[in-house]
Structure 1
């Protein structure tokens, strides 16, 4: 951490626990055959990519997903299946963010979408009494709002430029290797957070 003044965090798998299998199973239960061929963590087809970069509204995504589900499947059932991957915010991780913010500039850079953002903020409010994840950061950047997503260098550069950050003094933490490699392109310092390690292991 020597020389580090700012930290950019990934969200899924770093701050909030995820289980992609729960979403795969939920969609298969709705009649979606081979959901993993439509979506997985590392390769998104155009529908998911467009949702994550704000090119389409949630309703367009839900209408398109209905075509792959059993007749009679509702938008709400699709939303619930899509959100099934979102688990919990471990208290220790939130405490670490609060402690770090006293010493570093903190930022969030997440590949996400409007449906998930509403869901994880609701999880945070119901479990911890905090209405928005933004409370822990100087600024939170979500791909569907800025129209840019990791691992593309433009997403990292956007955060650096908007806040006047020096990449040599800025640490980026993510659990996905392509995102780490994308961050290195713009000169960011990086930590690839591989399970079973967590934030608590980095900031002992």
Structure 2
């Protein structure tokens, strides 16, 4: 399905992999000395399983999720170490993309839509305090109760911002999310790096002219 030619009235950004650099290997490196699992077993065990998804939709509180991580990763450490490892995957702002976010034409609101959780949001606010305030509004899965690529996640955001699907432009790094957004009529660009963001904005006339 091709993008709609309608000029976007709102731009939606995923966080991890789009405006924030993510590296799960950093989490594994921090946890490995505390785990009874081999490096390969630890890597296989750290994935978005059912408790992870429940945590990201607000149905499992942080303490329950961190306890789950300790169990499934066979960790012999305290909760603070489990949390530190989980937060270690948040590396840094992707500076070029953040600059593009700031360069979007005046009058076009920018929103964040992210599959995330209260543990990571608290760390983002601590480690990157100027990032989330750049958005007109931040929609996180554990607050809205839906995760991408669930159609309900996109429809929730569209209803909240009062924009029709063809008038919304999504930047996301994961193809299933792109396909789900396009399936309901949204414009969507898969992001492999900042240049994809630049091109997607420029092609639609959304960048301020210097």
- Using structure 2 for the length normalisation, give the TM-score: 0.83
Superposition deviation, residue 92 in structure 1: 3.3
Structure 1 unaligned blocks of 5 or more: none
Superposition deviation, residue 45 in structure 1: 1.0
Distance across 2 between alignment mates of 1:32 and 1:149: 31
Q: Name 1:37's counterpart in structure 2.
A: 44
Distance across 1 between alignment mates of 2:200 and 2:7: 16
Structure 2 unaligned blocks of 5 or more: 203-210
Distance across 1 between alignment mates of 2:104 and 2:193: 21
Q: Is 1:120 paired with 2:124?
A: yes
Query: Residue by residue, what CA displacement relative to the aligned partner does 1:107-138 show, whole Å, maximum 9, x if unpaired?
Result: 1100001111111111113xxxx2x61x1122
Which aligned runs of 4 or more in structure 1 are off by greater than 6 angstroms? none
- Using structure 1 for the length normalisation, give the TM-score: 0.86
Q: Name 1:69's counterpart in structure 2.
A: 74
Q: Name 2:189's counterpart in structure 1.
A: 191
Q: Of the candidates 106, 110, 118, which is equivalent to residue 106 of structure 1?
A: 110
Q: Of the candidates 97, 100, 107, which is equivalent to residue 96 of structure 1?
A: 100
- Structure 1 residues 97 and 191, CA gap change in structure 2 (3 angstroms): same
Query: Aligned to 2:31, what secondary structure does the other structure show?
Result: helix
Superposition deviation, residue 25 in structure 1: 2.7
Q: Answer whether contact 1:8 1:106 (CA < 8 A) is retained.
A: yes
Distance across 1 between alignment mates of 2:95 and 2:75: 38
What do you get for the CA RMSD once the two structures are aligned?
2.1
